[in-house]
């Protein structure tokens, strides 16, 4: 688990990826690739540097079992749980040949699969173990065994209690919640 400790120390997979992409040194690129290879091995994941990731990704439970296709696109502030597959469909006779494109502020639940050339809009939620093979408009929800449900103005902030304060991850940083009614509601969950 030495590579996992190192990657977490520098800020996670996204920061390692940024270091790889921003350097012109072939030695550093080889070093970052080596670290990523063994990090993926330790976490049983596939996280290539050639996918398009527009902003920090919140891997809420780590990258364990996460598979991201090399040609996938992921927007800013997405939350991805464990065992998620964002995979290409490369069967030439397939209707959705290609890779997924995921918008900003999306939440992808544990074990979810997004397969093929599908477009996931902004602020979407994909439930645990859901399989998505169709496009999803902005602010929509997909759960196991249901059709995609369109909603209005979804917020996919996952709240955490850290250092005696409620907050959420945004752009790779912990943001304390300031709204008192939200804090009050969150505090009631601590008492349950």
* Total domains present in the chain: 3
Tell me what pLDDT residue 184 has.
84
Positions in the chain whose pLDDT score sits under 50: 192
Tell me what pLDDT residue 190 has.
58
**Both 92 and 108 in a single domain?**
yes
Tell me what pLDDT residue 161 has.
79
**Both 175 and 131 in a single domain?**
no
**Both 130 and 65 in a single domain?**
yes
> How far is the C-alpha of 144 from the C-alpha of 181, rounded, in Å?
31
Tell me what pLDDT residue 70 has.
87
**Both 57 and 93 in a single domain?**
yes
**Both 1 and 60 in a single domain?**
no
Copy the structure tokens of residue 16: 């390692």
**Both 95 and 126 in a single domain?**
yes
Q: Model confidence over 118-140: pLDDT tens digits?
A: 999 999 999 999 999 999 999 99
**Both 151 and 164 in a single domain?**
no
CA distances from 60 to 72, 82, 145, 159, 190 (A): 20, 8, 24, 11, 19
> How far is the C-alpha of 77 from the C-alpha of 182, rounded, in Å?
20
Backbone dihedral region for residue 5 (phi beyond 0: left; psi -120 to 50: alpha; all else: beta): alpha
Domain coverage including residue 13 = 1-43
**Both 69 and 33 in a single domain?**
no
CA distances from 172 to 14, 100, 144 (A): 9, 22, 29
Tell me what pLDDT residue 102 has.
98
> How far is the C-alpha of 164 from the C-alpha of 125, rounded, in Å?
28
**Both 105 and 84 in a single domain?**
yes
**Both 55 and 132 in a single domain?**
yes
**Both 38 and 68 in a single domain?**
no
What CATH number is attached to the domain comprising 67? Answer: 2.160.10.10
**Both 81 and 39 in a single domain?**
no
Token pair 């955490």 in the structure block, residue: 160
Sheet holding 73-74, edge to edge: 52-53, 73-74, 101-102, 119-120
């Amino acid at each position: 688990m030495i590579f996992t400790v190192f990657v977490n120390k520098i800020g996670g997979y996204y920061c390692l990826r940024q270091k790889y992409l921003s350097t012109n040194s072939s030695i550093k690129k080889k070093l970052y690739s080596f670290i990523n290879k063994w990090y993926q091995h330790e976490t049983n994941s596939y996280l290539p540097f050639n996918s398009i990731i527009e902003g920090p990704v919140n891997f809420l439970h780590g990258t364990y079992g996460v598979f991201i296709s090399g040609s996938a696109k992921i927007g800013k502030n997405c939350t991805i749980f464990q065992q998620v597959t964002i995979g290409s469909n490369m069967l030439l006779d397939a209707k959705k040949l290609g890779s997924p494109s995921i918008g900003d502020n999306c939440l992808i639940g544990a074990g979810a699969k997004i397969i093929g050339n599908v477009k996931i809009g902004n602020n979407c939620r994909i439930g645990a173990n859901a399989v998505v093979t169709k496009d999803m408009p902005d602010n929509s929800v997909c759960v196991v065994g249901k059709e995609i449900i369109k909603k209005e103005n979804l917020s996919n902030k996952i709240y955490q209690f850290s250092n005696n304060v409620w907050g959420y991850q945004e752009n790779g940083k912990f943001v304390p919640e300031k709204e008192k009614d939200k804090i009050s509601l969150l505090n009631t969950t601590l008492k349950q």
